[in-house]
Chains A and B, each alone.
Chain A
Amino acid sequence: MSLTAKWRNGMLYVGVVAVVAYCLAPFYWMLVSSLRRTSDIFDTSLLPSPVSFENYQAVFDPSQGFTRALLNSLIVAGVTTALALLLATFTAYAMARLEFRFKRLILTLIIATSMFPVVSIVVPLLKLFTDVGWINTYQAMIVPSMSFTLPLAVWNLTTFFRQMPDELEHAAMIDGCTRGQAFRRVIIPLAAPGIFTTAIITFIAAWNEFLIALSMTNKSAMQTAPVAISKFSGATQFETPFGSQMAAGVLVTVPLVVLVLVFQRRIVAGLTAGAAK
């Protein structure tokens, strides 16, 4: 290896470390802070000493209602994802495989809806839901969440279905399947990885939602985890309980990070297929 090649390699290594550090350092700080004792929360050492799970205990203190918030998040994000996937699978199949009038217009419209500012639909829906008594209900959070999860799922699934060769269905249809049977028996099983990837991406988007959950609830028992954490209160009014906020943040984020680490290849494929053609 020549000297310049070595130098280049070294620079590249430095670059890679810089990128990883940039992405992970703040997350690491959240993790470290969550493991400090309340008394040394303001320490700036890189490792917590001693390691303490005090903050995690504080998070699960019944007064914070964090367990309920997690459950709410799970219900809202889970139902949103399931509904979005169900509807999107049919639509995406039509978009990828069938030829019909206004197809491109419809696809463009569906994609365009995901770019709408959420607040533009939250304001009128807030008024509507107030009138029909839906405030503090799951449906008041699930229904508006469909506005961005459904287009996301349609777009992602359309890309996945398109990547599958037409010949598969043709073969199935020649063997006597109807189009519907070909879809159920051939396409769905083969597209399962794509559907799964879309589910993860949709779930993460729904799980991260804040504005809708904030606006549609005013009872702490119905808040989703992000809203609940942002409203954690300390012992006194003027104290922000950073320790328990960080601990709760870790708890809310770690499942997503694990999903991302395990399925990173797929998620990258899904994200880039959906966004950068």
Chain B
Amino acid sequence: MADTTITPDTTAPDRGNAYGQSSAPLSPRRRTRARATAGSGRMAALLVSPTLLVLTIVVFYPTLMALRESLYGPKGLDPKTGFIRTTEPFVGLRNYADVFGAAGDRFWNAFGNTTFFTVVTVALETVIGVAMALIMHRAFRGRALVRAGILVPWAVPTAISALLWRWIFNSDGVANAILGHQILWTTEGFHAKVAVIVAEVWKTAPFIGLLVLAGLQVIPKEVYEAARIDGASALRQFWHITLPLVKPALLVAVLFRCLDALRMFDLPYILIGAQKNSVETLSMLAQNEASNVRFGPASAYAVLLFLYVLLMALAFVRLLGTDLVSDRDGRKASRSRHRRNPAARRAKEGRAA
């Protein structure tokens, strides 16, 4: 749903090539695309439809259900069964309007927390991740070891890492022992936010490092040699060569992390607890409302979070422009071709630099 609005213009040139007038000469690069036939179309439909069907059932249909549901409730409990009554009052947009009313405090608090966590953690992760990538890129001995090491935080389930940090941040835990202070990290307050941020950054900074490292490894050495000959300092090299060339990989990583941070749930839920003002995120709020069978408001919060994520994704796509969406196929095609032809790769990347 996110990209239906952007895809038409980004795909247009491509489709023009593949499906445009057959009389139009096809560029040699697109030659393989001309294979499109009615037969392959049918086969594609056959191969793709199971996935689309499943995603319709588990994503698109629930999203529509959430939209509908958000217009109903809040409904009473049936005193006999403890379950909700089957009839829920239609309230229109009241669940959304309530967000701006007196009862909206909890929503805006969660909204603020979500935004705060996203901005702070992604910023820290990016800085630490890039630093890690630069170090790993230079290290020749033990690179495999380092790479395996940075995968460990990624592989630890978030729920387990939350318990781990809860233990570290315990009042008698190792964090306080190292700091020599008695801080009640996992109680309400700003320090609870700090605990969540530290734990989140630990888990995800290595991931950004990994993606940036992948970006660094495709930068040809010649570019740096040329810069060194021209007398550029290490800092200038980083700022004017490394950063621009690694930018596409970095931006994709940052986009992914942002979207992921916006739906943060496990970490604050386990590390600090449910219904804690200082760390409650939108996901936690929606889940909490739903588990208390207040499906109407829960759905409204979920829809609002969904819109927030969507907006963020669209903003990024706008910002990234062609890098993220439209160039995906083209670059991959040219890359895999270059892999077989190192000379061409060097020539092209040299030009790009």
Q: Which residues of A come within 8 Å of B, CB atoms?
A: 12, 15-16, 18-20, 22-24, 26-27, 29-30, 33, 42, 44, 87-88, 90-91, 93-95, 98-101, 103-106, 108-110, 112-113, 115-128, 130, 143-144, 146-147, 150-151, 154, 159, 162-163, 166, 179, 204, 207-208, 210-211, 214-215, 226-227, 229-230, 240, 242, 245-246, 249, 252-253, 256-257, 259-261, 264-265, 267-268, 271-272, 275-277
Contacts and interface: CB of A to CB of B under 8 A. Distances in A.
Contacts of A259: 155
Contact of A127 (B32, B52, B69): B69
Contacts of B146: 16, 19-20
Interface of B: 1-4, 7, 10-11, 14-15, 18-19, 32-36, 40-41, 43-45, 47-48, 50-52, 54-55, 57-59, 62-63, 65-66, 69, 83, 128, 132, 135-136, 138-139, 142, 144-168, 170, 172-174, 177, 202, 205-207, 209-215, 248-249, 252-253, 256, 259, 262-263, 265-266, 269-270, 282-283, 286-287, 290-291, 295, 298-299, 302-303, 305-306, 309, 313, 325, 328-329, 331-333, 336
* Prevailing SS type, chain B contact patch: helix
A130 B290 CA distance: 11
Contacts of B152: 23-24, 27, 257, 260
17 contacts: A12-B139, A29-B164, A44-B177, A91-B50, A94-B48, A104-B329, A115-B259, A121-B63, A124-B66, A126-B295, A159-B332, A230-B270, A249-B156, A260-B152, A264-B148, A265-B147, A272-B210
A208 B270 CA distance: 14
Rank and list the top 6 A-B pairs by shortest CB-CB distance, nearest first.
A99-B36, A226-B159, A272-B214, A124-B65, A117-B263, A276-B249
Nearest to B281: A119
Given A119-B265, A120-B302, A249-B163, A20 B59 contact: no
Contacts of A264: 144, 147-148, 151
A119 B47 contact: no
Nearest to B198: A26
A123 B290 contact: yes
A259 B154 CA distance: 12
A156 B117 CA distance: 29
Contacts of B55: 109-110, 113, 146-147, 150-151
B157 A108 contact: no
A249 B305 contact: no
Given A19-B136, A115-B256, A147-B58, 5 more contacts: A100-B41, A120-B63, A163-B336, A230-B162, A242-B170
B48 A211 contact: no
B287 A123 contact: yes
A162 B259 CA distance: 27
Contacts of A267: 151
A98 B40 contact: yes
Contacts of A15: 135, 138-139
Nearest to B42: A100
Nearest to B291: A215
A242 B170 CA distance: 10
A121 B62 contact: yes
A100 B44 contact: yes
B211 A271 contact: yes
A194 B27 CA distance: 31
A116 B283 contact: no
Contacts of B135: 12, 15-16, 18-19
Contact of B160 (A16, A91, A249): A249
Contacts of B287: 119, 122-123, 211, 214-215
B253 A276 contact: yes
Interface centre among A24, A26, A265 (most CB of B within 10 A): A26
A178 B264 CA distance: 47
Contacts of B305: 117, 119-120
Interface centre among B65, B313, B331 (most CB of A within 10 A): B65
Nearest to A246: B167
Nearest to A207: B157
A166 B2 CA distance: 31
A253 B151 contact: no
A110 B169 CA distance: 39
A16 B146 CA distance: 7
Given A91-B50, A119-B283, A119-B305, A103 B58 contact: no
B3 A109 contact: yes
Contacts of B83: 130
Contacts of B3: 105, 108-109, 112
B202 A22 contact: yes
A87 B157 contact: no
B295 A253 contact: no
